[in-house]
């Protein structure tokens, strides 16, 4: 108990020494929360409408069948809010000395998110050649890379908050600040790809078999699954777009699978491909 009291005493002394105006910071937090309170319902509405439209465009199934995923919407809004708060603090907060200690927790958060983004890219979206190269490296290498991502973000944040009046570390500061800006731009663009349209990047699907035919669950509607035919080949799932049926949820053995590649094809595309293959085989084709 005495140790805790001593710890809080040191924090109090530190705050007094740095002359942090707590009430001024609370006012800034209040303004930020008010802005978020206005943005959250607007963003929620945008995500709901956008997801339904994208569902129709991607799967070629009426938008009304697109399921509203509250968890996904909450995850997006939370992620956007965290990233915005951190980068607003990095680029626009002028109380450099007083809030410099935030470089460590904020740098760790962005570093972890950035590494997760990098790992996700290698797992699902990188080409086969890149994947083969990536698999040659050990777990120790990736753990070190994870630490580098965190430290790089921490030091770049510190560079933005450092008053280097004597100019001793000016070049290092410029390099770190430039890296911080590059990381921010890449990170924001990568996040936007999911925010703007999640379906082309979706790799996790629930599937089940009905009379040996693979059925892919796309959403839920009025207590039933919205499903379409699918075909699984190793790590690739081919989804039949433009066709769907509503099936009961009961008595289904459902598998949750993460695929590396997703293809959405319609019957018309399959027919056109068959015609092209026939023409290529015969080396001529009459239209």
Tell me the per-residue pLDDT of 29-82, one tens digit each, with 9 for 90 and over.
Answer: 677 777 777 877 887 887 788 888 888 888 898 988 888 777 777 777 787 778
Q: How confident is the model at residue 275 (pLDDT cuts 50, 70, 90)?
A: very low
Instruction: Judge if 237 and 132 occupy the same domain.
Output: no
pTM of the model: 0.62
Whose CA is closest to 224, among 70, 67, 71, 63? 67
Strands 261-265 and 236-240, bridge-based pairing = parallel
Task: Say if CB 82 and CB 112 are below 8 A apart.
Answer: no
Give the angle subtended at the CA of 183 by the CAs of 178 and 184, to the nearest 5°: 95
Enclosing domain of residue 56: 2-199
Q: Mark whether 22 and 64 lie in a shared domain.
A: yes
Mean pLDDT of 240-244: 89
Residue 228 inside a domain? The answer is yes
pLDDT beyond 70 at 287? no
Does 48 fall in a domain?
yes
Span of 159-168, 172-181, 208-217, 251-260 with lowest mean pLDDT: 159-168
The mean pLDDT of 184-194, rounded to a whole number, is: 74
CA 235/CA 258 separation, integer angstroms: 8
Q: What is the pLDDT of residue 189?
A: 76
Nearest Cα neighbor of 86 from 104, 117, 110 is: 110
pLDDT score at 246: 92
Q: Based on the fold, state whether residues 171 and 252 are members of the same structural domain.
A: no
Cβ neighbours of residue 35 closer than 8 Å, sequence gap 6 or more: none
Residue with tokens 């120790």: 140
- What pLDDT is recorded for position 239? 93
Who contacts 23 (Cβ-Cβ below 8 Å, separation ≥6)? none
Q: How many domains does the chain have?
A: 2
CA 267 → CA 153, 198, 209, 246, 287, distances in Å? 48, 24, 20, 19, 20
Domain shared by 195 and 209, yes or no: no
């Amino acid at each position: 108990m005495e140790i805790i009291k001593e710890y809080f005493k040191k924090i109090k002394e530190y705050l007094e020494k740095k002359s942090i105006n707590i009430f001024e910071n609370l006012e800034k937090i209040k303004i930020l929360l008010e802005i978020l309170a206005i943005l959250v319902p607007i963003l929620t509405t945008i995500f709901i409408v956008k997801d339904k439209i994208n569902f129709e465009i991607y799967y070629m199934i009426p938008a009304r069948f697109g399921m509203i995923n509250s968890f996904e919407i909450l995850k997006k809004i939370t992620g956007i809010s965290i990233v915005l708060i951190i980068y607003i603090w990095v680029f626009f907060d002028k109380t450099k000395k007083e809030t410099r200690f935030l470089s460590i927790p904020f740098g760790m958060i962005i570093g972890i998110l950035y590494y997760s983004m990098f790992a996700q890219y290698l797992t699902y979206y990188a080409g086969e050649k890149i994947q083969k190269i990536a698999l040659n490296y050990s777990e120790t290498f990736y753990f070190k890379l994870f630490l580098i991502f965190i430290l790089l973000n921490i030091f770049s944040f510190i560079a933005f908050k450092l008053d280097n009046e004597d100019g001793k570390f000016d070049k290092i500061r410029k390099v770190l600040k430039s890296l911080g800006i590059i990381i921010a731009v890449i990170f924001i663009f990568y996040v936007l790809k999911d925010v703007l349209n999640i379906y082309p990047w979706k790799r996790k699907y629930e599937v089940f078999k009905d009379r040996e035919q693979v059925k892919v669950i796309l959403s839920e509607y009025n207590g039933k699954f919205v499903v379409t035919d699918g075909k699984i080949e190793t790590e690739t799932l081919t989804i039949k777009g433009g066709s769907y049926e509503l099936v009961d949820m009961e008595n289904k053995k459902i598998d949750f699978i993460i695929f590396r590649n997703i293809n959405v094809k319609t019957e018309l595309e399959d027919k056109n491909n068959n015609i092209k293959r026939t023409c290529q085989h015969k080396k001529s084709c009459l239209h």
